[in-house]
């Protein structure tokens, strides 16, 4: 593992300090769980657009970015509108037979959590079409609220996420994430630096005083029914899709022929 020598910056500008708690809630942009192939592909085209613009990934002829472990019944794509288009998105995927995207660089650390009985949810593929920092942070608060309740309804214990060093303090201050391994370079995003963070869901929510983002999620719960009609990534749904073509070309995987495999994931019961 090629460790990044530079330390996480001690001073980080926190845009959330400019936003009152009520402002975040009152003006939170709407979020939805993707229920169709069209919505998922639109969300992942936005991820491609933003990641390629910022040099995190190479351009490809599909105009799409996805990781194999994000495709399956274990996954949930969150999105919000900006006019007629997807304006912001993130993808949530529970631990599954294919593992998590972060396993590619932190497999040993994640396996240690699994051995301790921790049940993991990875949050990834974040993208926002807007250039306004305050609007973007409000959308992120909204999507993280959905991520937390997806994890709770699925009976998971931890959310894990890999972030650029300059974003670490946002997740630490606003949600109580903790770093669980050293920074390293991440081949999935052209060897940019990544810091792995972990949020202990139940432990975090049980505290008397919560960080503002975690408190907002606790005080504004989502019913399990919000996730029950999410796009299921069934092989028949993926046949001939842009997602299938991209995964075949870039990862040698055909999700339209993977019924019963790791891509199909495992179904779970959702509470009301």
7 in any annotated domain: no
Alpha carbons within 13 A on the beta-carbon side of 37: 13
- The predicted-structure confidence for 170-204, as pLDDT tens digits, reads as follows 999 999 999 999 999 999 999 999 999 999 999 99
pTM (2 decimals)?
0.86
204 in any annotated domain: yes
SS3 148: helix
CATH of the domain at 179: 3.40.630.30
Confidence of residue 25 (pLDDT cuts 50, 70, 90): low
Instruction: Please give the Cα distance from 129 to 135 (Å, whole number).
Output: 10
4 in any annotated domain: no
8 in any annotated domain: no
Q: What is the DSSP string of 1-21?
A: --B--SPPPS----GGGGS-H
> In this structure, how many other beta carbons lie within 10 angstroms of the beta carbon of residue 177?
26
9 in any annotated domain: no
With beta carbons less than 8 A apart as the criterion, state whether 119 and 95 touch.
yes
Residue range 59-69: average pLDDT? 96
What is the domain range of residue 220? 15-264
Overall domain count for the chain: 1
């Amino acid at each position: 593992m090629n460790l990044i020598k530079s330390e996480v910056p001690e001073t980080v500008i926190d845009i959330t300090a400019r936003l009152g708690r009520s402002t975040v809630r009152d003006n939170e942009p709407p979020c939805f769980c993707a229920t169709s192939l069209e919505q998922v592909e639109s969300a992942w085209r936005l991820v491609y657009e933003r990641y390629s613009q910022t040099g995190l990934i190479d351009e490809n002829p599909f105009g799409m970015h996805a990781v194999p472990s994000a495709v399956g019944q274990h996954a949930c794509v969150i999105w919000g509108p900006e006019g007629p288009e997807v304006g912001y998105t993130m993808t949530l995927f529970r631990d599954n037979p294919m593992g998590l995207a972060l396993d590619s660089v932190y497999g040993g650390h994640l396996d240690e959590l699994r051995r301790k009985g921790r049940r993991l949810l990875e949050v990834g593929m974040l993208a926002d079409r807007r250039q306004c920092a305050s609007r973007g942070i409000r959308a992120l608060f909204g999507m993280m609220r959905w991520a937390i309740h997806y994890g709770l309804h699925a009976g998971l214990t931890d959310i894990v996420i890999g972030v650029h060093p300059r974003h670490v303090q946002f997740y630490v201050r606003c949600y109580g994430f903790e770093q669980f391994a050293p920074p390293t370079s991440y081949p999935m995003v052209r060897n940019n630096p990544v810091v792995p963070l972990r949020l202990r869901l139940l432990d975090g929510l049980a505290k008397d005083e919560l960080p503002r983002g975690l408190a907002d999620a606790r005080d504004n719960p989502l019913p399990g029914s919000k996730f029950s009609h999410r796009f299921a990534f069934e092989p028949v749904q993926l046949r001939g899709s842009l997602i299938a073509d991209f995964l075949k070309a870039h990862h040698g995987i055909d999700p339209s022929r993977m019924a019963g495999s790791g891509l199909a994931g495992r179904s779970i019961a959702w509470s009301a």
